[in-house]
Amino acid sequence: MKKFTKVLLSALLALGVTACGSSTSEGTPAASTDSTTTTETSEAATYTVGIVQLVQHVALDASAQGFQDELVKELGDAVTFDYQNAAGDSATCSSIVSGFVTENVDLILAIATPALQASANGTATIPVLGTAITEYGTALSIDDFDGTVGTNVSGTSDLAPLDQQAAMFDELLPDATTIGILYCSAEANSKYQADVVKASLEAAGKTVNVYTFTDSNDVQAITTTAVAENDALYIPTDNTAASNTGLIDPVASEAGVPIICGEEGIMSGCGIATLSIDYYELGVTTGAMAARILKGEANVSEMPIEYYQNPVKEFDAERCEALGITVPSDYTAVARD
């Protein structure tokens, strides 16, 4: 009996040791596996960013490039882009955004106002950043806009000081008393700029006439009327105008009517001067905002709209020389593309 008891105790002790050993050997790898899985998941996190751009032109392209360069700098190979261009059609912007929502992208970049409007209407959950947007309150129909949208939308603005743009007429064209403002009636932010500049010019004693085209089909005809009735023209930051400077420039040049523009791309195509921002750097700023959102470091609903802080006075030397315009020393000559 004693012998049987000893054997039984030995067997139980051996079983207990084996069981404890099994628990330790299985538990430790399990913990290690969980830790490895978590690390691998974190390290392997990837992001898809949908980019919807209203139309191709120099300023918007530069914003897109700056945005992508900054995100790649921040996230490396972890970020991929679905970059689509709407070829100037607002309805196509909506279709592109619908595709992004179906794809469940991690973030949408909307370049230009119609792209932003389509994105804001298309999703209330996916973070949306705008860039090359002049005024978000106007674009999104927000009364008393305080600088933060407060929804899934934020971004950067390309608004330059409009009163300073208006003042350029006295600096460069002191004899111009009648100014025509030319823009696309379909672009809400263009109207906003036109209204502000019109008020500034009228306060300076100028007579102001406003001309709007609906799309590229009537740009040339409306420009022909505008140059016939004014000493000079102003074109705000306007996507349709930017895409059709090749139609505007010959008409204005033949008539000898100078154009002051809202941004560098339009000026390069048809103008004499601008107070402009750097659209590439604006894209970089937007990319940095996107990186903070994707990393979980910021909530898009709490992010205020960011603005470019150092606009530069620029001029086209060739057009100014042809028109006999004397340019002050604080303007920088910009080569045409």
What is the gyration radius of the CA atoms in the chain, in angstroms? Answer: 29
The structural domain count of the chain equals: 2
For the chain, give the percent of residues with pLDDT over 90: 83
Predicted confidence band of residue 335 (pLDDT cuts 50, 70, 90):
confident
Cα angle at 65 between 61 and 66, to 5 degrees? 120
- Alpha carbon distance 100, 122 (integer Å): 9
The answer to whether the beta carbons of residues 298 and 289 sit under 8 Å apart is yes
Same domain, 170 and 272: yes
Predicted confidence band of residue 35 (pLDDT cuts 50, 70, 90):
very low
- Alpha carbon distance 172, 233 (integer Å): 12
Same domain, 233 and 290: no
Tokens of 92: 């196509």
- Alpha carbon distance 262, 193 (integer Å): 9
Cα angle at 153 between 149 and 154, to 5 degrees? 75
pLDDT at 44: 63
Same domain, 141 and 201: no
Same domain, 104 and 187: no
pLDDT beyond 60 at 23? no
Residues 6+ apart with CB under 8 A from 77: none
CATH code where residue 112 lies:
3.40.50.2300
Name the residue range of residue 217's domain: 162-276+312-333
- Alpha carbon distance 92, 117 (integer Å): 12
Predicted confidence band of residue 337 (pLDDT cuts 50, 70, 90):
low
- Alpha carbon distance 136, 153 (integer Å): 10
Residue 33 domain-assigned? no
Task: Please give the C-alpha separations between residue 179 and each of 57, 163, 203, 211, 320, in angstroms, as whole numbers.
Answer: 26, 15, 13, 11, 17
Residue 230 domain-assigned? yes
The pLDDT tens digits of the residues spanning 236-255 come to: 999 999 999 999 999 999 99
- Alpha carbon distance 171, 328 (integer Å): 8
pLDDT beyond 70 at 24? no
Q: What's this model's pTM, rounded to 2 decimal places?
A: 0.80
Q: Which of 158, 132, 159 is nearest to 52 (CA)?
A: 132
- Alpha carbon distance 333, 314 (integer Å): 6
Residue 21 domain-assigned? no
Same domain, 299 and 322: no
Per-residue pLDDT, averaged over 23-37, amounts to 32
**Mean pLDDT, all residues of the chain:** 89
Same domain, 151 and 173: no
Same domain, 127 and 220: no
Question: What 3 state SS string does the chain have?
Answer: CHHHHHHHHHHHHHHHHHHHHHHHHHHHHHHHHHHHHHHHHHHCCCEEEEEEECCCCHHHHHHHHHHHHHHHHHHHHHEEEEEEECCCCHHHHHHHHHHHHHHCCCEEEEECHHHHHHHHHHCCCCCEEEEEECCHHHHCCCCCCCCCCCCCEEEEECCCCHHHHHHHHHHHCCCCCEEEEEEECCCHHHHHHHHHHHHHHHHCCCEEEEEEECCHHHHHHHHHHHHHHCCEEEECCCHHHHHCHHHHHHHHHHHCCCEEECCHHHHHHHCCEEEECCHHHHHHHHHHHHHHHHCCCCCHHHCCCEECCCCEEEECHHHHHHHCCCCCCCCEECCCC
The pLDDT tens digits of the residues spanning 110-153 come to: 999 999 999 999 999 999 999 999 999 999 999 999 999 999 99
Same domain, 115 and 171: no
The pLDDT tens digits of the residues spanning 289-299 come to: 999 999 999 99
The pLDDT tens digits of the residues spanning 187-221 come to: 999 999 999 999 999 999 999 999 999 999 999 99
